[in-house]
């Protein structure tokens, strides 16, 4: 084989190798771009999914907070009116000469309901503006406290009448027992009438304060639903 032929063959081989390298360089470059693009898309997808997850958590947390706030408002209203209604249901007619020493049982139940109202208030204040909440509910609570104090004092006075009656009966002749009972029951009747009238007047004041409180609580619930 001549030198010229060998040179021609070498030139052809070099050309083929050059074309081969150029082709594969372009191929691998394109493949690299595709891999990089794929990784970039995967990274963006991951970021989008992470943001969606964070938004979902925030949304669910907001829903939970709104629900708990609404529940706290309703729980406070329920506890307050349970306490208030229990006070209104107490009348001196439940006291007599046999059970006057156990009237504390009635007020133990009342005090438990007052504590539940205070606890419900504390829970509501976790979600609400404390100053605004106090401004719109405090007076109704204070009036109910006034009613509770009035009831306790009145029941104490009536219980004292029965205590004095039982003590005096021991030293009173049988023939005068009827007259003795009449005197004490008249005293109890006067005390009961005074209590009822004061209670009615105080209840009117309570209702006025409750209008403010209920209007405020309804407004809070409406705002909560709209969130």
Query: What does 92-108 look like in DSSP terms, one character per residue?
Result: GGG--TTTGGGTHHHHH
Segment 161-165 shows an average pLDDT of: 82
Measured over all CA atoms, what is the biggest interatomic distance in the chain, rounded to whole angstroms? 163
Q: Place 13 in a pLDDT band, splitting at 50, 70 and 90.
A: low
Q: How far apart are the first and last CA of the chain?
A: 93
DSSP 189-205: HHHHHHHHHHHHHHHHH
Does residue 206 or residue 182 have the better pLDDT?
A: 206
How far, in Å, CA of 138 to CA of 163, rounded?
37
Do 76 and 120 form a contact (C-beta atoms < 8 A)?
yes
pLDDT tens digits, residue range 40-81?
556 655 655 665 555 555 555 555 678 888 899 999 999 999
Tokens of 167: 């003590």
Least-confidence region, from 55-64, 177-186, 193-202: 55-64
pLDDT at 194: 93
Q: Residue written as tokens 């504590």?
A: 115
pLDDT at 210: 96
pLDDT at 167: 80
Helix (H, G, I), strand (E, B) or coil at 106: helix
Tokens of 127: 């979600």
Segment 106-134 shows an average pLDDT of: 92
pLDDT for residue 86 is more than 90: yes
pLDDT for residue 30 is more than 70: no
Q: Place 183 in a pLDDT band, splitting at 50, 70 and 90.
A: confident
Cα separations (Å) of 113 from 70, 129, 217? 21, 24, 20
pLDDT for residue 125 is more than 50: yes
Segment 157-181 shows an average pLDDT of: 80
Segment 187-203 shows an average pLDDT of: 92
User: 9-13, 78-82, 88-92: which has the highest mean pLDDT?
Assistant: 78-82
pLDDT for residue 207 is more than 70: yes
pLDDT for residue 28 is more than 50: no
Percent of the chain with pLDDT over 90: 37
pLDDT at 223: 83
Does residue 122 or residue 33 have the better pLDDT?
A: 122
DSSP state, 172? S
Segment 7-12 shows an average pLDDT of: 56
Residue 111: exposure state from Cβ atoms within 10 A (0-12, 13-18, ≥19): middle
């Amino acid at each position: 084989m001549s030198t010229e032929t060998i040179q021609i063959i070498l030139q052809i081989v070099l050309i083929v190798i050059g074309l081969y390298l150029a082709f594969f360089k372009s191929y691998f470059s394109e493949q690299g771009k595709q891999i990089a693009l794929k990784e970039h898309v995967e990274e963006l997808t991951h970021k989008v999914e992470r943001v969606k997850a964070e938004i979902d958590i925030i949304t669910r947390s907001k829903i939970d907070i709104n629900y708990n706030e609404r529940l706290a408002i309703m729980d406070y209203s329920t506890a307050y009116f349970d306490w208030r209604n229990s006070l209104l249901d107490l009348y001196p007619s439940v006291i007599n000469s046999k059970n006057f020493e156990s009237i504390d049982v009635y007020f133990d139940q009342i005090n438990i309901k007052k504590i539940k109202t205070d606890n419900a208030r504390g829970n509501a204040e976790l979600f609400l503006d404390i100053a605004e909440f106090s401004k719109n509910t405090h007076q109704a609570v204070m009036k109910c406290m006034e009613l509770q104090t009035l009831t306790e004092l009145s029941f104490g006075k009536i219980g004292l009448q029965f205590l004095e009656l039982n003590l005096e009966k021991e030293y009173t002749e049988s023939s005068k027992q009827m007259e003795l009972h009449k005197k004490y029951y008249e005293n109890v009747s006067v005390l009961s009438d005074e209590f009822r009238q004061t209670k009615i007047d105080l209840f009117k004041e309570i209702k006025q304060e409750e209008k403010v409180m209920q209007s405020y609580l309804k407004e809070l619930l409406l705002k909560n639903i709209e969130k």
